[in-house]
Amino acid sequence: MSIKKEIARRRTFGIISHPDAGKTTLTEKLLLFGGAIQEAGAVKSNKIKKGATSDFMEIERQRGISVATSVLAFEYNGTKINILDTPGHKDFAEDTFRTLTAVDSVIVVIDVAKGVEEQTEKLVQVCRMRKIPMIVFVNKLDREGKDAFELLDEIEQKLDLHVTPLSFPIGMGYDFKGIYNIWEKNVNLFSGDSRKNIEETIEIEDLNSEELDTLIGNESAETLREELELVTGVYPDFDQEAYSKAEQQPVFFGSALNNFGVRELLDCFISIAPPPRPKESEERVVKPEEKDFTGFVFKIHANMDPKHRDRLAFVKIVSGVFERNTPYLHVRNGKKLKFSSPNAFFAERKEIVDISYPGDIVGLHDTGNFKIGDTLTQGEEIHYKGIPSFSPEHFRYINNADPLKSKQLAKGIDQLMDEGVAQLFTLELNGRKVIGTVGALQYEVIQYRLEHEYGAKCTYEPLSVHKACWVEPKDPKSEEFKDFLRVKQRFMAKDKRGQLVFLADSPFTLQVTQQKYPNVKLHFVSEFK
Ligand code: GDP
């Protein structure tokens, strides 16, 4: 098969949702359709169990699962599908943000009863900013939930999206009869039997035919006709281009648990979702069909065996073909590297692959060469953009608790930060190290891993920081900037890349500082150019 055909048949995407909306269940049903797994229950939830905060076995369990579910690849009707796992737990939100740099589209799962929840809002905001095409799946229709129109309104308002339903529920909860598939123009009746894999669909050529009344009863048929009329009146037709540009989001309804409405979603997804897209680098836009291989690291995973400190770097292939045992340029450090056992990931196993195409993810064994965001090429000096750090929510000083192990501690911190577990800031004034995280759970993970993988001990000390702000002076030589640096000396730090950061201790300080120094821009994301 030509590289063009290989690219055209690939779909690399992520499923995002608030925890418990049904992401794991949906993933599993998609894998069942692809024949990648044989039975339900094979996909482990990557959730942190409640109350497991200090249970280190739980953290290890979670890490094990997260390697296994990082990428799930399968074939469906001639399409190669790569699902990238995105942790739903808010303490791992950074990881999800980074994974979103490697997807070509997403499916957003929403619980019909709970509607739009907090984590969905945050993740969709990132997708909107990055113009990632989105399909919405409203789940759990077998339960009582919000009215479909009300929910569509809520999705538009809270998520700032422009939706168009491609399926519509017939009843809900106890009364749930099935869905009308607007996309395929057929009716799908719900039997409520979760063991059934593929449900029956009934073609309906004309909504006004009596067949519909016979199928779902007069009353339901009338209601459905009225509702569909309203849908046509209120929502625009599906527009492929608008969807691809993230200007329109199709919506499907169903019940993942009952495997209902999932095939419809999948069939529509493979026909409309974009194949691997061109990617911007600092130097130029790189197209997937280019001859030369390029790719970038979006995730690093530490080996589960603490005695071997090797790691797996997950590389998304952007262009060309990636081949085993071929030297590639690691652009940041100028080294040529060869990989003898690149891994591809399937539902229940990983395999060594000889060749991979744009859209695919390969896992490369790494002994410490890679950082998140690194680019690999066939020789060209290309730097892919766009794996920003966000301001952490929590900040603590990290101290060495075993003076004989300071080297191990430094190395451990260095590598854990490369993995993206947390962010390190070094204070300008005294060189003290501050760890910033999205969730408090991360501190325990770091402490535990430093001890078990690096033999180093650390303690934390509280530090009151509201936000880390990346500093961009209009004129670095101006008196205003010099004054800013002098007055804020105690709060200035460098991040791991050496960028200057101001640690604002309260919302009030932040506001006053912004007013006092209008020509010193403060950003909450590390990338702003
Ligand atoms: P995740 O946190 O988003 O991965 O959610 P899960 O897939 O683990 O689902 C959370 C809970 O909702 C589980 O108990 C599922 O069995 C349940 N669930 C998922 N889909 C449905 C559905 O369509 N209907 C009902 N009633 N429950 C569902």
DSSP assignments along 507-520, one per residue: HHHHHHHHHH-TTE
Is 140 one of the annotated binding-site residues? Answer: yes
Closest residue to atom 19 of ligand 1, CA basis: 22
Nearest to 249 by CA among 233, 229, 230, 269: 269
Is 18 one of the annotated binding-site residues? Answer: yes
Pocket of ligand 1 (CB under 6 A): 17, 19-25, 45, 47, 88, 139-140, 142-143, 255-258
Q: Say how many Å lie between the CA of residue 18 and the centre of ligand 1.
A: 11
- Contact status, residue 170 vs residue 235, Cβ threshold 8 Å: no
Q: Which residue has the tokens 């905001």?
A: 125
User: Roughly what angle, to the nearest 10 degrees, separates helices 218-234 and 148-159?
Assistant: 30
Closest residue to atom 2 of ligand 1, CA basis: 20
- Contact status, residue 180 vs residue 252, Cβ threshold 8 Å: no
371 CB contacts (<8 Å, ≥6 apart)?
297, 300, 332, 418
* Cβ neighbourhood burial of 350 (10 Å; 0-12, 13-18, 19+): middle
- Residue 172: CB atoms within 10 A of its CB come to 20
Is 19 one of the annotated binding-site residues? Answer: yes
Report how far residue 350's alpha carbon sits from residue 353's, in angstroms, rounded to the nearest whole number.
9
pLDDT, residue 65, reads 55
DSSP code of residue 478: S
pLDDT, residue 53, reads 42
Nearest to 456 by CA among 498, 489, 507, 414: 414
Report how far residue 40's alpha carbon sits from residue 313's, in angstroms, rounded to the nearest whole number.
29
Q: Say how many Å lie between the CA of residue 63 and the centre of ligand 1.
A: 21
Where the chain has pLDDT below 70, the residues are 36-69, 88-92, 192-200, 303-309, 346-348, 386, 528-529
Report how far residue 527's alpha carbon sits from residue 346's, in angstroms, rounded to the nearest whole number.
33
Ligand 1 mutation target, pool 72, 257, 260, most atoms within 8 A of CB: 257
Which residue type does 72 have? L
Is 239 one of the annotated binding-site residues? Answer: no
Q: Which fold has domain 3-174+236-272?
A: Rossmann fold (3.40.50)
What ipTM describes this predicted complex?
0.99
Which residue type does 14 have? G
Is 412 one of the annotated binding-site residues? Answer: no
Closest residue to atom 24 of ligand 1, CA basis: 140
3-class secondary structure for 262-314? HHHHHHHHHHHCCCCCCEEECCCEECCCCCCCEEEEEEEEECCCCCCCCEEEE
515 CB contacts (<8 Å, ≥6 apart)?
none
Report how far residue 435's alpha carbon sits from residue 143's, in angstroms, rounded to the nearest whole number.
43
Radius of gyration of the chain (CA): 25
Report the DSSP pairing between strands 167-170 and 163-165.
unpaired
pLDDT, residue 51, reads 45
Q: Say how many Å lie between the CA of residue 46 and the centre of ligand 1.
A: 13
Domain residue spans of the chain: 3-174+236-272, 279-377, 394-523
Q: Say how many Å lie between the CA of residue 393 and the centre of ligand 1.
A: 29
Sequence-ordered alpha helix ranges (H) in 44-117 = 56-68, 93-99
Report how far residue 208's alpha carbon sits from residue 224's, in angstroms, rounded to the nearest whole number.
10
The string of pLDDT tens digits covering residues 373-413 is 899 999 999 999 767 778 898 999 999 999 999 999 999 99
Report how far residue 256's alpha carbon sits from residue 194's, in angstroms, rounded to the nearest whole number.
9
Q: Say how many Å lie between the CA of residue 425 and the centre of ligand 1.
A: 39
45: three-class secondary structure by DSSP: coil
Q: What CATH number matches the domain at 279-377, 3.40.50.880, 3.30.1360.70, 2.10.25.10, 2.40.30.10?
A: 2.40.30.10
Q: Which fold has domain 394-523?
A: Alpha-Beta Plaits (3.30.70)
Report how far residue 88's alpha carbon sits from residue 90's, in angstroms, rounded to the nearest whole number.
6
61 CB contacts (<8 Å, ≥6 apart)?
none
